[in-house]
A and B are shown apart, each in its own frame.
Chain A
C-alpha cells in the first residue's frame, strides 16, 4: 500500500499570506496526486488533480507542483474562507489520503 504523509499537521497564517503544504508518498506515484479542501461540516472539494492541474472554478491562488514522491500545495493571498483542512490523495494504486493539514487564518 502507498502511504501518504503531509506536513505540517496544522498551520496558522494571516490574510494575504502565502502558505505551502507538503505531501510525500512512500513510493513514486508519478503525477497521480490530487488535493482537496474540506471546510468544517462539509464534504471535501477537489482543488488540484494530476499534481498541478487546477479544477474548474477553483481560484488561481491555489497551485500544485511536484512529481514522483514529493508534492506541494501553495495557497497565495490567503482569504478568510481558506480556513479548512487540506488533504492530498494518491490515485496511482487504488487510493490513499494524507492525514490532513488544518489551516487556520489568524
Chain B
C-alpha cells in the first residue's frame, strides 16, 4: 500500500523558517509528480506546490512564491518543502500528496501541523 509520511511541522515565530519532509514508499517514486496541499484550521484545502518526477518542473501558488521552495530526492524517495519568511497565514496542516495518472490527488499523507505564532 502506498504510504506518505510527513514530518517537520512545528511552532515557529513569524519570519522564521521550517523544512517539511515527506517519505514515500510502496510505489516507484520517480514516476510521479508530488504536491503539497495545506489546510488552515477550520478552513478548506489549498494547493501549495508541486514537482515533476525528475524534478525538472516545479510550480508554486502565488501566495508562497519567493518564500517556499519544493524539492525532491529520488534516491531517498522523499519530497521536501522549504518554507522561509513564514507568516501567521501559513499556519496549517500540510499534506504530502501523490498526483495520480491524471494529475488528481490519489494518495495523501496524514499531514503535519505548522503553527506560525509569536
Contacts and interface: CB of A to CB of B under 8 A. Distances in A.
Most buried by B among A34, A98, A99: A34
B104 A49 contact: yes
B44 A97 contact: yes
Interface in B78-118: 95, 100, 102-111
Interface in A82-98: 87, 89, 91, 94-98
Contact of B105 (A89, A94, A100): A89
Contacts, number: 53
A36 B105 CA distance: 9
A89 B44 contact: no
Interface residues of B, number: 20
A50 interface: yes
B93 to A, nearest CB: 9
Contacts of A45: 108
Interface residues of A, number: 21
B45 A46 contact: no
B45 A87 contact: yes
A66 interface: no
A88 to B, nearest CB: 10
Contacts of B110: 43
B35 interface: yes
A43 B47 contact: no
Interface of B: 35, 44-47, 50, 59, 61, 95, 100, 102-111
| Minimum-distance CB pairs A-B, first 6 | A95-B47, A43-B108, A34-B104, A49-B104, A91-B103, A97-B45
14 contacts: A32-B102, A34-B104, A43-B109, A44-B95, A44-B108, A45-B108, A49-B102, A49-B106, A50-B102, A50-B104, A91-B102, A91-B103, A95-B103, A97-B47
